[in-house]
Amino acid sequence: MKTQWTVSFLILLLSTLFLAGCDEDTDEESTRRDDTPRQADEPLPYSTTSDYLTVKVEGEYRPIFIRGMNLGVAKPGTLAGELAATDQDYRRWLDMMRQWGINVLRIYTLHYPRFYEALDEHNRTHPDNPIYVLHGIWLDEESSSSDDLFDMTAQFRAGMHEVVDAVHGNRSIRERRGRAFGEYEIDISQWVLGWIVGREVHPEEVLVTNEANAHIQSFDGEAFRVEEGDPVEVWWARHLDTLVTYERDFYGVQRPVSVSSWPSLDPLDHPTEGSYYSSEDVASFDATRIEPIDAPAGIFATYHAYPYYPDYIVDDPDYRQFADDEGPNSYMGYLFRLKDHYRDIPLLIGEVGVPSSWGSAHWGHENMDHGGHDELEQGEVARRLFHTIHDTNCAGGALFAWIDEWWKPTWITDHIDFGLYRRKTWHNVTAAEQNFGLIAFDLGAPDFSDFGPVSATGDIESVQASADAAFFHVRLNLRRSLTSDDRLIIGYDTYRDDLGESILPDGVQTQNRNEFALVIDPDEAADLQVTLAYDLFGRFFYTSDEGQKYRSTATDGGPWRLIRWQNNQPRGSNDGTYWFDPTYHDIGHLRIRRHDQPETSQDAVVLYPEHIDIRIPWVLLNVAHPGLHEVVHDDRDDMGRFVETTITEGFALSVTLNEELLVETDRFLWEGWTEAPETTERVKPGAAVFSEAMHELPYWMD
């Protein structure tokens, strides 16, 4: 059974246009500008020690601690392969990175020429404080219908030649779909610290490759060899050999190289992980089996290693023995053991970080989770992670990521916010993968309008609403301030008059039939509840109760439930020594604050003396696409991977205060959209904390 992370990753790979492969060098679409071999002024500008990458400075190699940043550039409304960042974006972002203490930028694939032009200008303007680049060469899964990596060889090799030429300012690429193109005339190679090739190859690909090529267990190349290894290690060695010899022979320079990998393929044993429950410990790739023979710049290991996944990083009792100044730290334990294996070569943590999503897709150890952090907490966890990387003698890390990217799927919500071209037009603030950035894209303050004719009585003066690409907003205008003795309930009737529950959690009967109820105790909590029939809990793991229909039904006095997510399955070791129960996120427990208390990015209810502002993320109201007015209306008996939807007639509200019905509104139908709205770039508060960490950590290690 594939784990939820692997499934999400496969969906990501299959659904994006994030391609960096190219046609053979002879293809007229992509050609070298000049076929004359060159000789670099410095043939070995960067190298490696057993722990660090090094930079040649005034004739000596100085080990650098990589304070890195991963740069994806899919701004709202765009896909990754569109590489939509402008020239001005790159220049602004590079200046910000330098000021924040970032010294290395990691990119995954070829960008448009404007990136290389901006980097060149930036580094020439700041020659004493350049931003180095770890440049990727993407392995395109879609180039083959097979999981055998050997079937992906031709296009990957051609992609290596193309990227190397482009980095040296020596490539012309005609317009093409889903990949960068243009005239690459700027040579930025002097700032390329190393190459990181490939992507997170999933365990099934390794198993297929090894089985299909079992007779291939060694390799003798010009730069690298494998004396004895698995076919997958031979395959990677061949491509590193191709990369190093191509750049050396044509451009007269060599630099450190690495293969992009992740814990799912690490060479360690994990006693808590069982193959009956996941595929996270069934295959491996060991970079130590690739031996440099004529590659003086060396090789380093790159791992995309997060503190919350796979499960063994959280569960392993050995890792849980480790601690830092902030307390127990199983992530430190994992990195310590991984670095011990890679004791002779540098270990770079090529991706690390936590998202500022409202929802957590996976629990980590000691509050280092796959979401559920507000934007300040996100930076605080990032600071801890980078100190952990430093303290375990790793070569450094690269934070994931620079900006929030709306197009990304997250396994725990992608059955609702499905559709690549749909998803990019709105922001699912509950989804972990969309909220990793230190830079957010704001939609502006809500533009409230009245629900229309509303008969408001008692302490409610009027009700207003607004809708944007992230939230459904409600404002209740009050005739008096709420006190700790009050209990306010807002019922949300989200799509049809004849469906929903007629009795709110306080026992008050309403004309509107509601699917959701927000229960507000001013000094305690704000809990978002859903009717049993409309509850999607457990849908991914098939652990839902019989009464859950995944659609609204007409009920009178049916049960209400707090909205919860199941964010992990029961699991254990195959021999039964270790067992771990499923885990849950009570995401319906929303944050509430009074207006004079510190603001956070996850505030759902804000109490003012004269009004109450409420914002609910669309997914928590079972909205599949707010711009198209689509809400979930699924068929439990004929369930596909994605939910079925219907078009809402608008939202109506019922408001009770202290068990007295004060307001019932007509329906409010907001203006729809099919393209992403205008946004404003905003630096999250956690960025300042992360910047502090960058300046706390060393630049040079000598």
pLDDT tens sequence across 427-455? 999 999 999 999 999 999 999 998 866 77
Whether pLDDT at 106 is above 80 = yes
Contact between 463 and 473 (Cβ < 8 Å) = no
pLDDT digits (tens, 9 = 90+) for 53-77: 999 999 999 999 999 999 999 999 9
pTM assigned to the model: 0.94
Cα–Cα distance, 355 to 486 (Å, whole number) = 35
Contact between 668 and 651 (Cβ < 8 Å) = yes
Query: Where residue 603 falls among pLDDT bands split at 50, 70, 90?
Result: very high
Closest CA to 284 of 299, 302, 264: 264
Q: According to the model, what pLDDT value does residue 452 have? A: 66
Whether pLDDT at 286 is above 80 = yes
Whether pLDDT at 6 is above 80 = no
φ/ψ (deg, to 5) at 131? -100, 115
- The pLDDT > 70 percentage for the chain reads 95
Whether pLDDT at 665 is above 60 = yes
Whether pLDDT at 10 is above 80 = no
Whether pLDDT at 15 is above 80 = no
Q: According to the model, what pLDDT value does residue 9 have? A: 39
Whether pLDDT at 302 is above 80 = yes
E strands present in 210-269: 219-220, 224-226, 257-261
Q: According to the model, what pLDDT value does residue 22 have? A: 37
What domains appear along the chain, each with residue ranges and CATH number? Answer: 4-419+682-696 (3.20.20.80), 444-676 (no CATH)
Q: Which residue has the tokens 């068929």?
A: 635
Terminal CA-to-CA distance of the chain, rounded, Å? 47
Query: Where residue 624 falls among pLDDT bands split at 50, 70, 90?
Result: very high
Query: Where residue 144 falls among pLDDT bands split at 50, 70, 90?
Result: low
**Arithmetic mean of pLDDT, 339-351:** 98
Lowest mean pLDDT among 14-18, 84-88, 680-684: 14-18
Whether pLDDT at 20 is above 70 = no
Closest CA to 162 of 43, 247, 45: 247
What region, left, alpha or beta, does residue 193 occupy, with left being phi > 0 and alpha being psi -120 to 50 degrees?
Answer: alpha
Q: According to the model, what pLDDT value does residue 314 have? A: 97
pLDDT digits (tens, 9 = 90+) for 468-486: 999 999 999 999 999 999 9
Q: According to the model, what pLDDT value does residue 453 have? A: 60
Q: Look over the chain and give the mean of its residue pLDDT values, rounded to a whole number.
A: 94
Q: According to the model, what pLDDT value does residue 141 have? A: 74
Whether pLDDT at 16 is above 70 = no
**Arithmetic mean of pLDDT, 283-299:** 98
Q: According to the model, what pLDDT value does residue 641 have? A: 76
φ/ψ (deg, to 5) at 643? -75, 155
Residue 364 CA from chain centroid, whole number: 15
Whether pLDDT at 27 is above 90 = no
